[in-house]
Amino acid sequence: MPRDLPIGNGSLLANFDSAYQLRDLYWPHVGSENHTNGHASRFGVWVDGRFSWVSDNFWRRDLRYEEDTLVTRVTLARPDLQLSLICRDAVDFHANLFVREIVVRNESDAPRKVRLFFGHDLHLSGDDLGNTAYYEPERHALFHYKGKCWIMINGAKVGPEGLVIGLDQWAAGRSERNDLQGTWRDAEDGLLSGNPVAQGNVDSTLALHLSVPPGAEAKAYYWMAVGSDFEEVTRINRAVREKGPATFIERTRHYWALWINNVSARFADLPGPIEQLYRRSLLILRTQVDNSGAILAANDFDITQYGRDTYSYMWPRDSALAAAAMDDAGYCDVTRRFFEFCHRAITDEGYLLHKYNPDGSLASSWHGWYRDGKKELPIQEDETGLVLWALWRHFERWHDVEFIKPLYRGLVIRAANWMAEYRDKGDGLPLPSWDLWEERRGVFGWSCAATWAGLQAAANFADAFGEFALAAGYRKAAEEIKAGVRAHLWSEKLGRFLRMTQHAADASPEDPTADASLCGLWLSGMFPPDDPAVAATMRFLSDKLTVRTKVGGIARYENDPYQQISKDISRIPGNPWFVCTLWMAEWHMAIAQNQEQLAASLQLLNWVVEHALPSGVMAEQLHPETGDPLSVSPLTWSHACFISAVHAYERRRTAMGMSRQ
């Protein structure tokens, strides 16, 4: 199930699914640890003797954000109950605090008693062992704790006398053991047991009681304070009591409005929905960035059902592309932390490994160190090359010499020396590594282009620092790679580039499969987008990878098995990916010579707008028949590519001298 509404502050991240259930709660890092383990925490209503969770199909739900903020606006309607709820959620921009405001509208002509129930299926530190949940009467609140993770849960309602803080009902209990489902079941008769403590695999539920006049509204608040000990969470709770929960929602709304209005670009000529999704993409992307500098690929825990692992890692490649998009938009502080993260992570030899946890430790990997009796590096060369490519773009934009100074020797030169050396001595191409999609080893167009781009960036840095001999060496290596691509990845017979070539040091066969990763040959700058060889390849990709259903879009490659829906390859070569569709849009932009030709790219940008969720969230891929999100959602890379594509569109308009409307 997609995560329709991520909200966070770089330390605490909360995700809500399409049924408005809290599904992920990450702290102290974005992506680590998940204190729900993907389990749903429920929100329900009791009125007139009837109970309903808002995840029930009887509710009409509209999940969105308030404009230009990371404060949600969720509308929940149940006409048969003559009741509707308007909710606003925020993770405070500074404190590790999640707050919800609930406005209850009584649409009947009689006064009513309404009870709001909040269930918590928490698995602190990511598992169900040794958790404790208890009610604390002095503060009228619930606590969950294990080790150095504490969550304090409280609420309040607005009455005639002002804010009344504390819970009206509560229960702590065991769940998922011996047929015990949890205290959320206890709520469904409108009454909770009041059990004060539970240990082991636990859950808890609380209730707030409201009196709502006929045709009127009542308001309540609910919050979670997260910290490392009792003192920390009670300190946050005390601030909420003193200042009022509405203060934290409002200050967070203003913070994010201020943040997004710092965006450097203004797109007066773009259709409104595209500009709105551009701004929303920046905000969503920011929720996936940890304050330590890691830019996480995705934090949708449901993907564990596919491979028993998550996307909650920092892939240097994905993150470099996201950093480039953020730099284009004007957010250099975010990207500086990312480049510092890479500086800390790079090996002494000069390469970055597969992926990293948000705390900087090495993450899980399916790439091995051993093959056919020999050691091999479990790497993807683009993950090193693209970091340097993005860093040079950053420096060109900001010219922050003092920031670059410590990175120059330890990151740039170290990585460039390794890339220049890690090549075949005969043809000059990079040695085999894993491809962009991490499924096969060989020498790929994407990897060659990313390595070329990284070496060119390093040469630019070396020139800037006056080390001209180093710069000349890096450029020579880059040109040898480019020549090798022309000689070994171009097929005269097919009249286009190959995805993978046979390499003298490897037994990998030539691979003519249509693969969107060949876009890297021009995205990197290795070849101009209108180069005849590139144009022929792109036309081939468009023909082979277009999804010929009412959904449309561009697939990754022919007969893509990942999350595959259909074997009808002629019609559905693979599921449509936002990233691949946006690459095709950028190519149309890059070769456009007039407004009519540029319109082809605008159509693809509009396709993205139409297939994002109402909240603006973009998944990794879509169901080719229904357009429903598949795999993780949101995918940081999808949002980064949309941001980059909008900037590319504006640059092309400027280059063509087209006036603004």
Q: Which residues contact 498 (CB under 8 A, 6 or more apart)?
A: 445, 489, 490, 491, 510, 511, 512
Over residues 185-214, mean pLDDT? 96
Residue 219 CA to residue 77 CA, distance in Å, equals 16
Instruction: Give me the pLDDT at residue 660, please.
Output: 46
Q: Residue 403's pLDDT band (boundaries 50, 70, 90)?
A: very high
168 C-beta neighbours (distance < 10 Å), count: 16
Over residues 406-415, mean pLDDT? 98
Q: Residue 503's pLDDT band (boundaries 50, 70, 90)?
A: low
Residue labelled with tokens 């946890």 = 357
Among the ranges given (299-308, 322-331, 447-456, 608-617), the one the predictor scored with the smallest mean pLDDT = 299-308
* Helix (H) or strand (E) run with residue 349 in it: none
Q: Which residues contact 581 (CB under 8 A, 6 or more apart)?
A: 553, 554, 604, 607, 608
Q: Residue 178's pLDDT band (boundaries 50, 70, 90)?
A: low
For residues 579 and 613, is the Cβ–Cβ distance under 8 A?
A: no
Q: Residue 81's pLDDT band (boundaries 50, 70, 90)?
A: very high
Q: What is the CA radius of gyration of the chain?
A: 27
Nearest to 338 by CA among 636, 657, 33: 636
Quick check: helix, strand or coil at residue 149? strand
> What's the mean per-residue pLDDT of the chain?
95
User: Which is it for strands 83-91 and 72-78: parallel, antiparallel or unpaired?
Assistant: antiparallel
The residue type of 288 is Q
Structurally, what CATH architecture does the domain formed by 3-259 represent? Distorted Sandwich (2.70)
Instruction: Give me the pLDDT at residue 419, please.
Output: 98
Please give the C-alpha separations between residue 258 and each of 212, 253, 263, 325, in angstroms, as whole numbers. 36, 9, 9, 19
Nearest to 277 by CA among 609, 40, 653: 609
* Helix (H) or strand (E) run with residue 97 in it: strand 97-106
Over residues 386-413, mean pLDDT? 98
Would you list the domain boundaries of the chain?
Answer: 3-259, 381-532, 546-661
Over residues 338-353, mean pLDDT? 98
Instruction: Give me the pLDDT at residue 418, please.
Output: 98
Among the ranges given (49-53, 428-432, 653-657), the one the predictor scored with the smallest mean pLDDT = 653-657
Instruction: Note the pLDDT tens digit of each residue in 581-624.
Output: 999 999 999 999 998 889 889 999 999 999 999 999 999 999 99
Share of the chain above pLDDT 70, in %: 97
Instruction: Note the pLDDT tens digit of each residue in 245-271.
Output: 999 999 999 999 999 998 867 776 789
Please give the C-alpha separations between residue 241 and each of 162, 233, 234, 395, 581, in angstroms, as whole numbers. 12, 12, 10, 45, 49
Residue labelled with tokens 């797109």 = 267
Instruction: Give me the pLDDT at residue 661, please.
Output: 40
Instruction: Note the pLDDT tens digit of each residue in 34-61.
Output: 999 999 999 999 999 999 999 999 999 9
The angle formed by the CA atoms of residues 51, 56 and 60, to the nearest 5 degrees, is 105
Residue 530 CA to residue 485 CA, distance in Å, equals 17
Residue 407's DSSP bridge partners are none
Asked whether the predicted pLDDT for residue 504 surpasses 60, the reply is: no
The structure's pTM equals 0.96
Q: What topology does CATH give the domain 381-532?
A: Glycosyltransferase (1.50.10)
